[in-house]
Structure 1
Amino acid sequence: MLQNLLLFSGFAGITVFIGGLLANFFNHHIKETPVKYSIIHTIMSFGAGIILSAVSLVLIPKGLEELEVLPMTISFTLGVVIFLFIDRYLAKKGGKNATLLAMLMDFIPESIALGATFAIEPNMAILLAIFIGFQNLPEAFNSYRDIVASGFTAQKTLIIFFFLSFFGIGGALIGHYFLTDSPILTAHLMTFASGGILYLLINDIIPESKLKNNYLTSLGATFGFLIGVICEKLIG
């Protein structure tokens, strides 16, 4: 059981580093062209579709299953409000740390939920691990470019991303050892994360991924969501 938890949470986390490597390759080995710009934004929109599928197929259904309407509404609203204030703070602060913190805002609570559900609902946990992994890839891709543009070297940024990859394992272990027997608390955490993630998705990720007169970004988002639906059908 523990070995499988480490395996799937490790997969969910390592995509942070892989996303950084892909961004580094794009930055240094692909010339600046409209095609490159279109690919980058399509990757971002694909991630948005994956994130939306994670919220609608895994996180919210868990809240609906375990929580009454009022507690679920409170948790969801708290997620929206807290992520809103953090997002505004990061926007004012800007700089190197903001993009790192923004990426971790959804990664950590999702990883904790992954660990908490692994012993009770392994199929849901595996599905969540896949969602987190696919979600982290475009988020890390975008964050790497922002961090390097703010002044960090490519090598230093990749080292940071390598260590961030292990946050998924840490969060999953916390959830596994402290929340496995607390399905209500886990449902609150997942509903809270849903509110925050949806806020970030609508406020930041979707607008940034959109390109005028370019339909690839919309296709990226829809196919990202489809990947989530297929995973739910095969694993859920």
Structure 2
Amino acid sequence: MIRRGEVPALVRRGASLVAALALSASSALAGDRALIDFIGFSPDAKYFAFEQFGIQDGSGFAFSEIFVIDLAADKWVPGTPVTVRIEDEEVGLGAARKQSAEGAADVLEKFGITEPVEILALNGDGAAEADFTKLRFGVPGYGLSEPASDQTLRLESFTAKSPLPCRDWFSEAPLGLALILEEGDGERVIHRDKRLPESRGCVFEYRLHSVVQPGWAQDISAAVAIVSVYSGGFEGPDRRFIAVPIGQ
């Protein structure tokens, strides 16, 4: 089933979570862990698209969500996310991804998502002893030369207000996010939550995942930070992703 512009599945299941309060966010059971695919940028680097996909905990249904982000406005473009959830455990993930790609084709074309993504830095899922609160990166040099710049992205979290009854559902306050960019002798805040959007769910942990930019970029003005978001779910924390513009 394809749905455009609706709240992601994690929040739609909120009412059912009340029945699962015994399974707290710190439960030994495992929540679902979405994966990510970077789709691309527009030629003017004003828009960025990515897909998150996986098998939903609790139901076992395959899902796929495609987001197109207006980087200057730091919000989804109209008509996104394009959300597919196949309510049949016998249908695999490939079918959900195919449906979401077909459903998002028009909006991807409208916003000109044609430019490849270059990964500047990445905390892989199997990385040992990774520091998920800091990620050092730079603009790639030529050939085997060192990066042409040196920046560090720092993540901080703090208790934040949410429109969802997170304390009632999980007995914990949800967390907000701040991202600080360190370069040279200074730093600047590139994002700080004032209030959590409903679409993010009840977040109990954030982790820096990666920094990406258009493949042709010569500076970080079009770079985007990808943050893993762990929100309460049926069987423990569920991982989803958000994209935060760095250079805007």
TM-score range, shorter chain: under 0.3
Structure (1/2) with the larger helix percentage: 1
Structure (1/2) with the larger strand percentage: 2
Task: Report the structure number with the largest CA radius of gyration.
Answer: 2
Greater relative contact order (Cα < 8 A, sep 6+): 1
TM-score (norm 1): 0.25
